């Protein structure tokens, strides 16, 4: 379910996504406490991966820009 909702989105979109639907459809109330905690941990981990990917891409872009500037100077 989370993959369907988040797949194909940019890291920024994933980080900004509010996953209120999980509570709205009553998913957490129908899960045992440990499974509910696991679901929330998955959401957190997916957002952490999106942040890591965003930061990695930003670092690579900055590196490329510096290399281009160095070549032009």
pLDDT tens digit sequence for 1-56: 888 989 999 999 999 998 888 888 888 888 899 998 999 899 999 999 999 999 99
Q: How high is the pLDDT of residue 26?
A: 86
Q: How high is the pLDDT of residue 52?
A: 97
Pairwise CA distance, residues 25 & 23, whole Å: 6
Q: Tell me, yes or no, if the pTM score tops 0.95.
A: no
Q: How high is the pLDDT of residue 66?
A: 80
Mean pLDDT across 52-71: 85
**70 token code pair:** 């160095």
**11 token code pair:** 């890291």
């Amino acid at each position: 379910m989370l993959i369907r909702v988040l797949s194909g989105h940019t890291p920024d979109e994933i980080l900004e996504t509010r996953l209120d639907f999980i509570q709205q459809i009553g998913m957490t109330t129908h899960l045992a406490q440990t499974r509910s905690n696991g679901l929330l941990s998955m959401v957190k981990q997916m957002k952490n991966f999106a942040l890591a990917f965003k930061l990695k891409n930003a670092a690579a872009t900055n590196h490329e820009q510096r290399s281009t500037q160095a070549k032009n100077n």
